[in-house]
Amino acid sequence: MNGARSSSSFPALDVPRSVAAIGQGNIKRLMAYSSIAHMGYALIGIAAGTFQGVQGVLVYLLIYVITNAGVFVCILAMRRNGQMVENIRISLASRRTNPRLALAFAVLFVSLAGIPPFAGFWAKFYVFLAALGAHLYALAILACSRAPSAAYYYLRIVKISISTSRHRPSIAKWACASVGSRPARACSTSSSS
């Protein structure tokens, strides 16, 4: 193999999995794709083959485990009519019904995206620093170039969880529609003005 590594050697560089995650509607599957990419970032520190690389991996894994545990706690807390919900659009449309859960999702996913000043940024920073210290410039550049697509699918979830899109019916409209036809007509005429 002449020392060359394929993208499957570093899951953080695996384009097909990253693209598949972008269109994912099931939050548990999205987190599975995310885990593959995150382990690829951890492998970058190991590829450095230095003490700094090992430190970077340990910091990365500690932050990743804590953040992912928080995400899965939030996923387990997502319920609709007492049932677990895995659809991203349905489950994360919780800003109005559970703003604390929506805020927790937003903070955790921004951290997973690696946006400063959140912990996920520092985790990636230490791993990339180790790669640069070991003169793995091409690997560091490739991994950095993959980060925006990963950030996209995390930030899409943040947008869904905190969005107040007018395309989604408000709680007031749901309440009006549930009380019967006459009040629903009254609600629709009063809410349209």
Instruction: State whether 74 and 51 are in the same domain.
Output: yes
Based on the fold, state whether residues 131 and 180 are members of the same structural domain: no
Does residue 55 sit in the same domain as residue 148?
A: yes
Pair 77, 151 in one domain: yes
Whether residue 95 is found in the same domain as residue 109: yes
For residues 112-119, average pLDDT: 92
Residues 52 and 142 in one domain: yes
Whether residues 157 and 187 fall in one domain: no
- Residue 176 located in a structural domain: yes
Q: Taking 60 as the threshold, does the pLDDT of residue 166 lie above it?
A: no
Pair 95, 153 in one domain: yes
Q: Based on the domain organization, do 62 and 87 belong to the same domain?
A: yes
Examine residue 2 and state whether it is found in any structural domain, yes or no.
no
Burial status of residue 1 (CB atoms within 10 A of its CB: 0-12, 13-18, 19 or more): exposed
Containing structural domain, residue 68:
11-162
Same domain, 172 and 84: no
pLDDT 10s digits, 72-111: 898 888 777 777 777 766 655 555 667 788 888 889 999 9
73 and 121 both lie in a single domain? yes
Task: Work out the pLDDT band at 153, boundaries 50, 70, 90.
Answer: confident
Q: pTM for the full model? A: 0.69
Domains of the chain: total: 2
Question: What element of type H or E holds 164?
Answer: none
| Cα–Cα distance for residue pair 167/129, rounded to 1 Å | 43
Give how far Cα 152 sits from Cα of 39, 68, 160, 177, Å: 18, 17, 12, 35
Q: Directed axis angle between helix 119-133 and helix 51-77, to 10°? A: 160
State the average pLDDT for the chain.
74
Residues 71, 115 within the same domain: yes
Domain assignment present for 3: no
- Which residue carries 């994912």 as its tokens? 24
